[in-house]
Structure 1
Amino acid sequence: MGTNRVTDTAIDEVGIHQITTKDEEDSPGDVENSSASVAEDVVDWKGEDDPEKPMNWSKARKAKNIIVICYCSFLTPLGSTMFAPAISQVMQEFQSNSAPLASFVISSWILGYFFGPLFLGPLSELYGRQPVYLVCNFLYSVFNVATALAPSLSSLIVFRFLAGTFGGCPFTLGAGTFGDTIKPENRGMVIAMWSIGSLLGPILGPIGGGYLGENSGWRWNCWVLAIAAGVGAIATVIFQEETYPVVLLERKAAKLRKETGNANLKSVYADLERKPAQVFARSIVRPLKLLFFSPIVATLSVYQGVMYGVLYLLFTTYPLVFESRYHFSTGSIGLTYLGAGIGSFISLVVTGTMADQTYRKQTELGRWKAEWRLFPVIFLSFSVPVGLFWYGWSAQTGTHWILPILGTGFIGLGMNTIMMCIATYLIDAHPLYEASAAAALTAVRSLIGCLVPLFGRSMYAALGLGWGNSLLGFIALAMCPLPWVFFTYGERVRTNPRFQLKM
């Protein structure tokens, strides 16, 4: 059985590499058994500065793609909590008084985030990112319409699950899209803008949902979201482009074959195993490998998942706290989410700016490593337990309503920093497998985010607001050393041959 050996390479002005290979038998000295040289024309980028390469697109061209993704990334979590202030209306209409079921109506949306990456990621490898964005944003709109027309509680849960599944597309593919288009020195602020949607969406959703549900009924929450999702779907058609290099180069090769009549032209990625069964198996197994065999991915996924679960637990219990203790109306309850929103916005500005400045400074000094992405978390992660203790005991003792809301501001500050920095770190630490790392992160985060709120009200009923939130605060405090551990030892761990996975 022979092997191919590259003997000559050249590049022309359209990015065609002419590669001559020679088959060498197991006994290379036997000239009579050697086959003739074979010439192959491989289509690649014309160079690192090729303007067709997504990373070299103009700022305007990149911006229109990024804005659409950020908009859709904001809409999905927006829908996850728009129900929260009006959940009592939903349960009353469908004649149910089950507290766990009421929580599951909200968190079933998040459960969809767990299953979506299992097939959306592989589909994007097969057909490109743009078709998956198009189909998912359209189906997201459809299932929001279905929730507005839901005839029963069970159908409402199913439709919300499906809306979350397809609405999670920007989270599943976003890391890959930004890896395609954004250079590392500018990635921090872009990731900050993207990740803020996952926090501001759940925060702003209840504000609009509270007043809308109070004045027009809970179904109008679904109709408004469906209209906004339809705008996103139309924007995807008009503004988004394909960014996946594998698909772009295959299209380029097909075009050149047609123009030149050279049937031997093929993409530099043509030899990749891209049969559907292989792609799905690889895309499902790879995140699981990272999750179970990479200490960094596993630990940080659980860390972010716990924080996400705590966030959604707080969101589902805000109506309980501010309606029963402070006698807020359904509409006014939505405004209580602004504390976490302001904290998240502060994090966006401070951490996003710091990330890019740190990259440039450490690169100039020759000390850059991916772990610098975690540097802001070392300090700001402590604001989460501080905020939980503050929020819990100020609400427990019945102080003025502004004090627990100020506590949630600290929670938002720390939460957004953790979410943003971990996402950016995993992209930089796994440049070849950023989509798989993001899938593992999203799956764990979503599963925990779905399950934790189910026992939230029972926990508060047993422990009270003070000790209930203190329990969450102690868990968050116990996890605060993790960013420092990975900042200090992360590079040593991820470069250790024991943890170099064969993907």
Structure 2
Amino acid sequence: MADSRQLSPTSTLHDDRDQRQHASSALEKVDLAEKGSAVPYDGAGTAESPYIVKFLDGEQANPQNWTKTKKWTITANSAISTLCIAFGSSVVSAAIPELTTVFGKDLTVLTLSVSLYVLGFALGPLLWAPFSEQWGRRPIFIITYALFAIFNIPCAVAKNVETLLVCRFLAGFFGSSPLTNSGGVISDMFSASERALAVSLYAAAPFAGPVIGPIVGGFVIMNTSWHWIFWILTIFSFVMLFSGALNPETYAPVLLRRRAAALQKETGKVYRSMYDLHPMFAAPFAVKMKAALLRPFLLLIKEPICSLFALYTSAVYGMLYCFFGAFPLVFEYARGWSPGISGLAFIPVGLGMVGAIVANVFDNKRYVRKLIAGGGVPLAPEERLPLCCVAGVVLPLGLFAFAWTTLPHVHWIASMIFSVFFGFSMVAIFLTMLTYLVDAYLLMAASALAANAVLRSLLGFAFPLFTRQMFNKMGNQWALTFLAFLALVMAPIPFIFYIYGPKIRARSTFAPQHKPAAPAAAAPPTASVNVSRTVTRTFTREEIEREEVAMMDLRQTESRREEAETLRKEGIDVDA
């Protein structure tokens, strides 16, 4: 009979000692079940009491138990797939002046080739994230990435600006899938204490891609026609499509649902995935879609944590896309550099991003040491914010210095040095915000991140449309100074949450894991008939959200247990 721990949608039953006493290995247990012998799952195999299918202790089919080589190969694959999408957003920027002549349209219209692509980033994840949770990460990746690659082809052969703009939007819309789902792949495989470096690698891709794009695009436009910018993107996207298609499915609810269906077909007995016992997973797809589409906007409206951090990261993200229009003005026109050499000015920004990733890894070590020093007692989410506070101060200072070292009589190396600080601050703010939202919202973190992604992409869509006009009216130095003042105004945001975050979360209705557990968290101790009702009943969106709230404390406890087990394997006793 399943206990409350086994009914958790987040548990992989690492401490299922009774099962370890009755079989030599988890794989042997599964083989016995498939042959109709002793079944390793709780239940009677009937409609009233189905066998509850779960990952067994040490089972290699569980993505959490895959080898490090396999995990990091998949992580690298996912990160580069994401980088390819982000690369596509900016590679066309170098060709915009030429495209104005080719299509006979003004600069603002052709800038839409960047803006509409980024607008697709805002809308696509609202569909692809819940789709992946319904049918799995792999099929959604293959379908959407294939369409992304295909829609790059009409861009390369476009005869009019309408074809170019429509296909750019569709490419961004379908290509946005890895922007959210690759993060899910990483969380599927790595425990909380292991995923800092993996998340850093993945999270840097949406920023590294736009930095590489102008460099490649600049040299392409110098040596060949604008068509080759899109052909290179098409080739890159098809390579990553075939590479990403080699990744196995990682989403545990889908894997266990498939196993349950296969065992039921083979044996004639009734099997149910342990995840399908919980309304968050068992509810009708239409109900889950409604919750997935509405909740990000509710978080933006009702949650100051989500709204302020979304505003902050969105402004920083918008500044990055603003730089695509600003760098040609600063280096190509003011200093007389060629398009290719002007694109190289983005290299220091990329170096700053690498520095932020390294700093985040070291900051995570500080976090783990503090966790150990506290005897494994969970740390407040605000412990993720010190690096964000540092970046919040560095960003306006770096922008101010960059603005006034772009004067033609100042050596170019000075502006290159200060652009490093922009790259560092941008990625550091994003990484720490990502981990803070995950820690604060746990099971609702996907919605919090979706809310952030929507607003961030909308500003990424808007900023390029007025960049040229702003720099032409204000001048290069004062336009950049305006961006620095904008960063300065928002710099207190991480400090506010670092100091007052616990009080703000205490009033939250969506971050309840830091409050006493709701009564509904306790699972019924008996009555297998109740399991059947849970499997077959239709749940409303409100019930799903209430159940998610009830599971928050259990999820946090199990995440801490995973961290503690990993630390013990490394020879660190967290109970000491």
| TM-score between both structures, scaled by the size of structure 1 | 0.89
Task: Give a deviation string over 1:380-424, Cα, whole Å, max 9, x none.
Answer: 222211121112122246422222222211100100101111122
Relative to structure 1, the CA distance from residue 102 to residue 382 in structure 2 (aligned partners, 3 Å threshold; closer, same or farther) is: farther
One-letter code aligned to 2:443: L
Residue 41 (str. 1) matches residue 41 (str. 2)? no
**Pairing partner for 1:64 from 50, 69, 73:** 73
The ranges of structure 1 where at least 4 consecutive aligned residues each deviate by more than 6 angstroms after the TM superposition are: 8-11
Correspondence 1:271-310 to 2 at 5 A = 271=277, 272=279, 273-310=282-319
For the aligned residue pairs, the C-alpha RMSD in angstroms reads 2.4
Residue 431 (str. 1) matches residue 456 (str. 2)? no
1:323 matched to which residue of 2? 332
Correspondence 1:312-351 to 2 at 5 A = 312-351=321-360
**Pairing partner for 1:212 from 220, 224, 240:** 220
1:471 matched to which residue of 2? 482
**Pairing partner for 1:454 from 465, 484, 502:** 465
**Pairing partner for 2:256 from 249, 258, 268:** 249
In 2: Cα distance, 1:288 partner to 1:66 partner: 29
Relative to structure 1, the CA distance from residue 424 to residue 367 in structure 2 (aligned partners, 3 Å threshold; closer, same or farther) is: closer
8 Å contact from structure 1 (residues 387, 407) kept in 2: yes
How far apart are residue 376 of structure 1 and its match?
0.7
Q: Which moved more, 1:138-147 or 1:365-374?
A: 365-374
In 2: Cα distance, 1:278 partner to 1:439 partner: 18
One-letter code aligned to 1:41: Y
Relative to structure 1, the CA distance from residue 219 to residue 356 in structure 2 (aligned partners, 3 Å threshold; closer, same or farther) is: farther
How far apart are residue 38 of structure 1 and its match?
4.4
Structure 2 residue matching 1:46: 3-state secondary structure: coil
In 1: Cα distance, 2:264 partner to 2:54 partner: 14
Residue 268 (str. 1) matches residue 293 (str. 2)? no
In 2: Cα distance, 1:447 partner to 1:90 partner: 24
How far apart are residue 334 of structure 1 and its match?
1.0
In 2: Cα distance, 1:63 partner to 1:367 partner: 27
8 Å contact from structure 1 (residues 316, 453) kept in 2: yes
8 Å contact from structure 1 (residues 374, 422) kept in 2: yes
In 2: Cα distance, 1:232 partner to 1:140 partner: 11
One-letter code aligned to 1:18: G
**Pairing partner for 2:400 from 385, 389, 393:** 389
Relative to structure 1, the CA distance from residue 435 to residue 175 in structure 2 (aligned partners, 3 Å threshold; closer, same or farther) is: farther
Structure 2 residue matching 1:150: 3-state secondary structure: coil
Higher normalized strand content (fraction of residues): 1
How far apart are residue 196 of structure 1 and its match?
1.7
Task: Give a deviation string over 1:456-486, Cα, whole Å, max 9, x none.
Answer: 1222222222221111111111211211222
Residue 116 (str. 1) matches residue 124 (str. 2)? yes
In 1: Cα distance, 2:195 partner to 2:449 partner: 15
In 2: Cα distance, 1:232 partner to 1:433 partner: 30
How far apart are residue 430 of structure 1 and its match?
2.2
8 Å contact from structure 2 (residues 441, 511) kept in 1: no
Task: Give a deviation string over 1:237-281, Cα, whole Å, max 9, x none.
Answer: 22x11111211110121122133321x211122253443322321
How far apart are residue 319 of structure 1 and its match?
1.1
Q: Which moved more, 1:358-367 or 1:114-123?
A: 358-367
1:27 matched to which residue of 2? none
Aligned-pair identity in percent equals 31
How far apart are residue 357 of structure 1 and its match?
4.1
In 2: Cα distance, 1:141 partner to 1:198 partner: 18
**Pairing partner for 1:74 from 75, 78, 83:** 83
In 2: Cα distance, 1:314 partner to 1:184 partner: 35
Residue 442 (str. 1) matches residue 449 (str. 2)? no
How far apart are residue 194 of structure 1 and its match?
0.9
2:566 matched to which residue of 1? none
In 1: Cα distance, 2:416 partner to 2:290 partner: 46
One-letter code aligned to 1:149: V
One-letter code aligned to 2:260: A
**Pairing partner for 1:419 from 405, 427, 430:** 430
In 2: Cα distance, 1:234 partner to 1:132 partner: 14
8 Å contact from structure 1 (residues 189, 356) kept in 2: no
Structure 2 residue matching 1:186: 3-state secondary structure: coil
2:186 matched to which residue of 1? 178
Structure 2 residue matching 1:441: 3-state secondary structure: helix
2:521 matched to which residue of 1? none
Relative to structure 1, the CA distance from residue 492 to residue 242 in structure 2 (aligned partners, 3 Å threshold; closer, same or farther) is: farther
Relative to structure 1, the CA distance from residue 323 to residue 411 in structure 2 (aligned partners, 3 Å threshold; closer, same or farther) is: same
In 2: Cα distance, 1:165 partner to 1:471 partner: 31
8 Å contact from structure 1 (residues 122, 280) kept in 2: yes
1:16 matched to which residue of 2? 41
Structure 1 residue matching 2:49: 3-state secondary structure: strand
Correspondence 1:464-503 to 2 at 5 A = 464-496=475-507, 498-500=509-511, 503=545
- Count of paired positions: 479
For structure 1, list consecutive stretches of 5 or more residues without a partner in the other structure: 22-36
In 2: Cα distance, 1:381 partner to 1:293 partner: 24
Residue 157 (str. 1) matches residue 165 (str. 2)? yes
In 1: Cα distance, 2:390 partner to 2:462 partner: 28
Structure 2 residue matching 1:336: 3-state secondary structure: helix
2:211 matched to which residue of 1? 203
Structure 2 residue matching 1:455: 3-state secondary structure: helix
In 2: Cα distance, 1:45 partner to 1:493 partner: 38
Relative to structure 1, the CA distance from residue 153 to residue 301 in structure 2 (aligned partners, 3 Å threshold; closer, same or farther) is: same
Relative to structure 1, the CA distance from residue 400 to residue 388 in structure 2 (aligned partners, 3 Å threshold; closer, same or farther) is: same
How far apart are residue 99 of structure 1 and its match?
2.9
| TM-score between both structures, scaled by the size of structure 2 | 0.78
Q: Which moved more, 1:10-19 or 1:76-85?
A: 10-19
**Pairing partner for 2:415 from 387, 398, 404:** 404
**Pairing partner for 1:107 from 109, 115, 119:** 115
Task: Give a deviation string over 1:132-181, Cα, whole Å, max 9, x none.
Answer: 11112211211112211111112111111111112211112122222221
Relative to structure 1, the CA distance from residue 498 to residue 348 in structure 2 (aligned partners, 3 Å threshold; closer, same or farther) is: closer
